Structure 1
Amino acid sequence: MLDWQHHLPFFRILSQSCGMNMYDVVIIGGGPAGLGAAVTLSRARRDVLVIDAGEPRNGRASRANSYLGREGIAPRELLTIGRGEVEQYGGDVRDGTVVSVKRLGPTALRVGLADGSTVDARRVLLATGVVDELPDIPGLRERWGRDVLHCAYCHAWEVRDKVVGVIASGAASLHQAQLWRQWTDRVVFFVHESLELKTSDRAELAARGIAVLEGQVSGIEVTGDALGGIRVGDTTIAVQVALVFPVSNARTELLGQLGLLPEEKHMDDQVIGATLTDVDMFGATGVPGVWAAGNVRGHRAQIIDAAAQGVQTGAMINIDLVNEEVAAAVAAHPFTPEREREVAKHVLVKR
């Protein structure tokens, strides 16, 4: 009689026979990239677990923009919808913080959580995102994602024609000021302590009607529940929006355990972040069994970019697993003409 077990995931059967519960894929991070991958893999009938710490990069924002079909949706609502989509195809989603990833075999890995529990997986997908480090100015963090912003394509339409103050942190802020000038003609460039403006820089700012203010920014002022101004020394300049250029760094705790090190990214000699570079175009890292998707691979990806990257990486992980299963099935069932006939007998139906 034909043994049909070889059509099921080989390592899943092995783990169950040993009393363990090994997922095909454990995804660390339940943002757009992680959930995009989870939907794809769950639809591919994979055993998938998403573990999410509940700290989305855009958690403070009221809207998620430029996401086709979901324009203006609240970020956390988008993630709730995504979780439901994963679960409708049989995927699991679990709240928790991953603190360790250890190798069990050539590609099998054990994922440890802060509560002391562990789960095993044939593949691990890192969708852990980045952390935005803001300038050390009192009050900025509390307004981050509301009226302290950075991404024009994420937020500029909603604050169009308002007075915008760019708090410079390097030459990259010059590009930021000129970009936001597209949405408002009332832009103030606060030089702060970050750079010395060249004559050509001043000429470009003046040509576009961008005011320049020298001096170190000491804080911001809030009136009611809205940004009212930016302080320079004893003077407060009225603005409605403050722009910063954060340093966006991949979370390094798990990456270091796996031997994956983020690489600094620069813009005009200014460090703007650090993300993984040891990743191919499909998300495979240089560590066997470990994949990556989303902002951990590049902090400039918007929400829809991260979700699309997750979908693509999820598909490639499935292909990788299929290839592994083919090899395992061939090893378990060497070819013979008799087996070929037996397979045909059970599969082909004549009418």
Structure 2
Amino acid sequence: MQDVIVIGGSYSGMAAALQLLRARRKVLVIDAGQRRNRFVDQSHGFLGQDGNDPTAIWAEAKRQLEAYPTLTWRDDTATAISGGMDDFRVTLQSGEEVSARRILLATGVSDALPDVPGLAERWGKAVFHCPYCHGYELDQGRIGVIATGPMSVHQAALLTEWGEITFFLNGAVALESDQREELTVRGVAIEETPISRITGDADIELGDGRVLSFAGLFTATRTDPAGSLVEQVGCALMATPIGSQILTDESKQTSIPGIFACGDTARAPHSVSLAVGDGAWAGAQVHRSLIWP
């Protein structure tokens, strides 16, 4: 019997595990190896690690966790959760069943990308979602924003801080007059011709044959908790402007007593820094629940 099983061994999950390990609690981390930022070569905006390879950041964090004798790490996927407070059981894809007093979900999110030919292949390389993470490196160049819904209007207006913006409506959003006026005031060029495909590094080919080149592209993906585990266990969800996330209280506990959640799957907006902070808070709260149920 573990004290806590952390499902998800990325940044928030490891940050939570660290607090628990330093409280000398027995922690099992189950990691499927699907970090959300696995497509990028550099992580930005994380104090002390700015510009470093996210894989190297993750590997060093894992090495530090492994120095604690009460850690157990499984490279596996959790497929089901049963039981309840103080006696949870987690089934792994390998067939193993493990037990713990508490569960912490740090499973991350899945990104639903717009259906634009050539976009998925450039995700994390020339197409991004967070200007704070990737805007600076575009060096105030031309930036294309591909609309996916209402949040894209905000994204296009915000990105004027990082470069010259062209906003591609692409049939995904109908601008109100006040929105159009705000974008115009902020210097955003509005392009209503549908996109045919993305080519080259970050070139957008339009339906009328024009090709516009950019330093980089941004789009607002829809994010939902990754995998089917959250649905299987029955945690309540809440809607966000960019999708859905697990509903938690101030202590990061979900609607199910004894199951907690942290990181991108349980908060918005998203970044490595915010995930680490959320994980550290969640780890401390899980520990306190073991003392004062």
TM over 0.5: yes
- 8 Å contact from structure 1 (residues 83, 93) kept in 2: no
Aligned residue number for residue 347 of structure 1: none
Structure 2 partner of 1:86 = 65
- Listed as ranges, the gaps of 5+ residues in structure 2 are none
In the alignment, what sits opposite 1:6? none
Higher helix share: 1
Does 1:96 find its partner at 2:66?
no
Alignment match, 1:202: 180
Name which of 272, 275, 286 aligns with 2:245.
275
Change (3 A) 1:100 1:72: same
Write the letter of the residue equivalent to 2:230: L
Partner of 1:175: 154
2:202 alignment partner, SS class: strand
The 3-state SS of whatever aligns with 1:158 is: helix
Matched, 1:319 2:268: no
Task: Please give the alpha-carbon distance, in whole angstroms, between the structure 2 residues aligned to 1:202 and 1:311.
Answer: 41
Shift of 1:249: 0.6
1:54 aligned partner: 33
Which residue is 2:125 aligned to?
146
| Cα deviation digits, residues 61-110 of structure 1 (max 9, x gap) | 1111111111112111111111111111121222111111111x543111
Q: Which string of whole-angstrom CA distances, capped at 9 and with x for unpartnered residues, describes residues 263-321 of structure 1?
A: 2223xxxxx211012x1112112212211111111241321111111111111211221
- Relative contact order, CA 8 A, sep 6+: which one is greater? 2
Contact 1:264 1:275 in 2 (8 A): yes
The offset of 1:252, in angstroms, is 5.3
Task: Supply the distance in 2 between the matched residues of 1:106 and 1:180 (Cα, whole angstroms).
Answer: 45
Q: Does 1:232 align with 2:207?
A: yes
Q: CA deviation at 1:155?
A: 0.7
Residues 151-173 of structure 1, C-alpha deviations (whole Å, 9 max, x = no match): 11111011122211111122221
Which amino acid letter does the alignment assign opposite residue 273 of structure 1? G
Matched with 2:165 is 187
Task: Note the C-alpha offset of 1:251.
Answer: 2.4
CA–CA distance in structure 2, aligned partners of residues 202 and 32 of structure 1: 38
Query: Secondary structure at 1:111's aligned position in 2?
Result: strand
Whether the 8 Å CA contact 1:49–1:93 is kept in 2: the answer is yes
Amino acid at match of 1:251: A
1:64-83 equivalence runs, <5 A: 64-83=43-62
Aligned residues: 292
- Separation of aligned partners in 1, 2:227 and 2:36: 15
CA contact (8 A) 1:86 1:92 kept: no
Asked if 1 retains the 8 angstrom alpha-carbon contact of 2:193 and 2:206, the reply is no
Work out the CA distance in 1 between the residues paired with 2:245 and 2:257: 19
Letter in 1 for 2:52: I
* Residue 113 in structure 1 maps to residue 92 in structure 2: yes
Q: Distance in 1 between matches of 2:110 and 2:266?
A: 13
Verify the 8 A CA contact 1:228 1:238 in the aligned structure 2.
yes
Match of residue 309, structure 1, among 255, 278, 282:
278
Alpha carbons 2:253, 2:259 under 8 Å: kept: yes
1:327-346 → structure 2 map (5 Å cutoff): none
Contact 1:108 1:289 in 2 (8 A): no
Aligned counterpart, 1:123:
102
Max Rg structure: 1
**Counterpart secondary structure, 1:64:** coil
Percent identity of paired positions between Structure 1 and Structure 2: 36
Tell whether the 8 Å contact from 1:107 to 1:288 is kept in structure 2 after alignment.
no
Question: Counterparts of 1:150 and 1:232 in 2: how far apart (Å)?
Answer: 24
Cα 1:136/1:160, change in 2 over 3 Å: same
Provide TM-score, normalisation by structure 2. Answer: 0.95
Distance across 2 between alignment mates of 1:260 and 1:316:
18
Question: TM-score w.r.t. structure 1 length?
Answer: 0.79
1:181 partner SS: helix
Q: Distance in 2 between matches of 1:282 and 1:208?
A: 40
Is the 2:85–2:102 contact (alpha carbons within 8 Å) kept by the matching residues of 1? Answer: no
Q: 2-side partners of 1:126 and 1:191: how far apart?
A: 36
Matches within 5 A, 1:5-20: none
